[in-house]
Structure 1
Amino acid sequence: MSVDRSIPAELTFTAIICAYTLERWDDISAAVASLRAQTSPVTEIVLVSDHNDELLARATAAFPDVRCLANAGQQGLSGARNTGVAAATGDIVAFLDDDAAAEPGWVVAQLDAYRDEQVLGVGGWVLPAWKAPRPDWFPDEFLWVVGCSYAGLPTTRAEIRNPIGANMSFRRSAFTVAGGFDPMMGRLGKDAAGCEETEFAIRARGAFDGSRIVMAPDAVCRHNVSPDRVTRAYFRRRCQAEGRSKALVSQLTGSDTALSSERTYVSRTLPLGILRHLRSGGRAGVGQAWAIVEGTALTASSYLVARLRARRVPTGA
């Protein structure tokens, strides 16, 4: 479909934060504060509480300048995001995780990318804010495990398949035409599932002829990495969840599109990373090289198992 994506004289900007637990109250407050402190003001801030009435009441009282809403859809991140999108009035709809804080120039950098009329979505750079010491075995190539930008992503503005969900935006028209995030995908509470932004980005691009999604590395946020996410157990669980999620995306969109970025990542970024870490020597280098091997094996095997199971399910089941 060919849709008019002309840029108004001044784009309006809605920022959405989806939250589900009061355990992150300090993080949520920091996220809201970071949006208030932008060098170019956010047109509106929307906070969606994911089926948590106590959180909604507290946020409504604490943030009088924020539109605080209850998730009107299925519980989970996709449903919460869709609720925020339905309420948004901005030309650009952006998403910031409830445990992330945007740098002051975040809005300016996001909007600057939309000067290109073909740009349908923008992904920003996500820096880790470690709340516990970073393990010496944790490689940069697997920072996606903790929801952050990782080695292998473009470090200058360039086209990408999909953004990282903690720091991304789309034209509101993308949702009008392509629909919202798939509620069958994405996180529910603390689970390790994901890839709803991958599936949406693929679907949205298919609905707009010639559209592009780009990386804007100067649109920076800092994403908290809590102590429970720096364990080897979480690393393994997250890799396995990624494999299952990618299998579902492949089932919905086709493996060619769903794995287009992963092919370069696995064939080039990871082998180079293994060599680099081994050459660096020492226990840390060996540990990071092994983590790449283990993480790749866990993700790939989980993907294959999920694909095989999907093929065994009778049509219409």
Structure 2
Amino acid sequence: MKKTRLRAGSPAELLALGPYLLGFEPTESIVVVAVSEGESAGVARADLEAFESDRQLARRTWQTLSRPTPDAHALILGYGADHERMVAALRSVACSIEEWTGSLLVDHVCFTDGHLWWPLWEDWEFDPDAGQPYDPAPPSVVQAVCEGLSVTGDRAQLERSVEGPRGKQAASFAAKVRRQLRLVGSMTDADATTCVLDLLMRGLEAPAGMDDLDQARLVALVQKIHPRDDVWLSQTRASAEQHQVLWHHLAQRTPVEFAVPVLSLLGFAAWLSGHGALANIACLRALSLDPCYRMARLLDEALVNGAHPDLWNDMPDVSA
């Protein structure tokens, strides 16, 4: 799968692209984008209130984003209805980054209330009457949609998308997975590898096109470390988007008792494809269900330390 490239011709287009960089609509939020050689090198979001209450948050955020790309510059985007609070917080974030680095790293600061947008940063003078009409669907966003990028309603909705099914739906699929586990338990490692990679290839082509039996068998297989690692090590930056779609689909079908390996594979694929919000959400969900699951813990370390997905190319084989 090719890497998606989106071009923003103005700060207003950057604001409109923000939700597509995150995968959900930010509300009462500040988004920091690291840009290196004209391309996004990382994106981080936090609630407006979080930046207001923690003076060191901007510094820690930039440390994480800039660690793999020390030459990066910052774009700071705001989304919120309270103009005065937003301007004050954006100024604090921008100044904190530049004071800490000792360099003029911030290229653009702007915000929108959903109806109008304002550029800031040069002299920090804010005139409410100087707002310009905000277009949430400029050409760059149209391109994003055409490229297959999507936006959920908000972060809470993205979190709900990895919680899995409940009630009869969960019980029905769990029963199918248990039956497949009995079959998987009798497989040799070689047979499990052949089976999981065959199912994986079919799933990557059309996740929703897999029947219940195939989906349940794939979920059952990745409960075992060896076939799970076969799936894990098959991921590349080129295939990560397809893996993310597949494992996100399965996460929505898999009940909690079998969810941790599925969520870990989803989180890893999201990290590898640059979808940081989904990676964090899937990882936190996996750790909440099993704090000792090693793959989820390794992913959490990568996310906390701001590891760049390109590092995966240099990693040795791993197992847990």
Kindly indicate which of the two structures has a greater share of residues assigned to strand.
Answer: 1
- Higher alpha-carbon Rg: 2
Kindly indicate which of the two structures has a greater share of residues assigned to helix.
Answer: 2
What's the TM-score bracket when you normalise by the shorter of the two chains?
Answer: under 0.3
For CA contacts below 8 A with separation 6 or more, give which structure has more relative contact order: 1
TM-score w.r.t. the length of structure 2 is 0.27
